[in-house]
C-alpha cells in the first residue's frame, strides 16, 4: 500500500487523500468547454497526437480496448472504428460529468454497438486479470494521485502481448522552445481559460501539473518497474507531448 501522505496538485503540496477530489473539481468546472479549449490550446494539433497514439497502439479488429480517463471520448471514437463490430471499447473516467459528456457525444455520433462505459479509478481497475488487448490513457495519467499503482493496475488487466499506450504532456526539448512554451503555458493558457471557460485557475493548474509530471525517461522507468517490457517513447511537437508504449509479456 502506498503510504504517501502528501502529493502535488500543480505546484502546491496537498494531502494525498484530497487530490482526487480537487482534480474532480477542476474537470467539473471545465467539462462544458473541454473540447473547445483543447482545440484552442493546441491549435487542433491534439487530434494529430491522438491519431498517432492510435497508430502506435497496433489495435486490430476484434480486440478489447480500455480507454482510461477517456473524458469526452476522442480516443474511444477512434478505437471503436478500429476494433469494428466484433471488438469492444470501454470509455472510462473517474469524473462522472466528463463521462456523461463523452457518452452523450458518442451516442449522438451513432456509436452504440461496440462501446461500453464505466466510472472507475485508474488505480483500482475493476476488471479481471488478462482482459484487454490495449489500455490507453490520454492526458490523464498526470492527474492520478499514485501513478505507480495505476501502472500496475493497467499491467494486470492486459492480456499477455497487450499494449499500454500513454499519451501525455511531457518535457519540451530545446532551450528556446522551452522558454516560448513556458510563456504560453503560464501567461496565455490561463488567459484563454478565463475568457473561454470562465476559469483561469483550472488552466493554471493544467500548466503546473504538466511541469510536475514525470519526464520521458522517468515515466519509461516507472513503466519498467510496473512490469512492462519493451518500453519506449515517441516525442511529438518537440517533446511537448510524448507517447509511451509498453508491452505485457
Q: Which residues belong to the annotated binding site for S-adenosyl-L-methionine?
A: 72, 93, 121-122
Residue ranges at the known binding site:
72, 93, 121-122
Task: Give Cβ neighbours of residue 229 (< 8 Å, ≥ 6 apart).
Answer: 246, 247, 248, 249
Q: Are strands 132-138 and 115-119 parallel, antiparallel or unpaired?
A: unpaired
Contact 244, 231 (CB under 8 A): yes
Long-range pairs of 6-9 with CB within 8 A, sequence gap ≥ 24? 7/145, 8/209, 8/212, 9/205, 9/209
Contact 93, 116 (CB under 8 A): no
- Judged by phi (left if over 0) then psi (alpha if -120 to 50, else beta), residue 125 lies in beta
Beta-strand ranges (E) seen in the chain are 6-9, 12-15, 64-68, 88-93, 115-119, 132-138, 158-169, 229-236, 241-247
Angle at 226 between CA 139 and CA 125, to 5 degrees: 60
Amino acid at each position: 500500500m502506498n503510504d504517501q501522505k502528501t502529493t502535488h496538485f500543480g505546484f502546491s503540496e496537498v494531502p494525498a487523500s484530497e487530490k482526487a477530489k480537487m482534480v474532480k473539481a477542476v474537470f467539473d468546472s471545465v467539462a462544458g468547454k473541454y473540447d473547445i479549449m483543447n482545440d484552442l490550446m493546441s491549435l487542433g494539433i491534439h487530434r494529430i497526437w491522438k491519431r498517432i497514439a492510435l497508430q502506435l497502439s497496433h489495435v486490430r479488429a476484434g480486440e478489447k480496448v480500455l480507454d482510461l480517463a477517456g473524458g469526452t471520448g476522442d480516443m474511444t471514437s477512434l478505437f471503436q472504428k478500429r476494433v469494428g463490430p466484433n471488438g469492444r471499447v470501454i470509455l472510462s473516467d473517474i469524473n462522472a460529468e466528463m463521462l456523461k459528456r463523452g457518452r452523450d457525444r458518442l451516442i449522438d455520433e451513432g456509436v452504440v454497438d461496440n462501446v461500453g462505459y464505466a466510472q472507475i479509478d485508474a488505480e483500482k481497475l475493476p476488471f479481471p486479470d488478462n482482459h484487454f488487448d490495449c489500455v490507453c490513457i490520454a492526458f490523464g495519467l498526470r492527474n492520478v494521485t499514485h501513478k505507480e499503482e495505476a501502472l500496475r493496475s493497467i499491467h494486470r488487466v492486459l492480456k499477455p502481448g497487450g499494449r499500454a499506450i500513454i499519451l501525455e504532456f511531457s518535457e519540451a526539448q530545446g532551450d528556446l522552445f522551452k522558454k516560448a512554451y513556458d510563456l504560453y503555458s503560464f501567461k496565455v493558457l490561463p488567459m484563454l481559460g478565463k475568457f473561454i471557460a470562465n476559469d483561469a485557475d483550472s488552466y493554471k493548474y493544467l500548466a503546473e501539473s504538466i511541469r510536475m509530471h514525470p519526464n520521458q525517461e522517468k515515466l519509461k522507468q516507472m513503466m519498467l518497474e510496473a512490469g512492462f517490457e519493451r518500453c519506449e517513447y515517441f516525442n511529438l511537437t518537440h517533446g511537448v507531448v510524448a507517447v509511451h508504449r509498453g508491452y505485457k509479456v
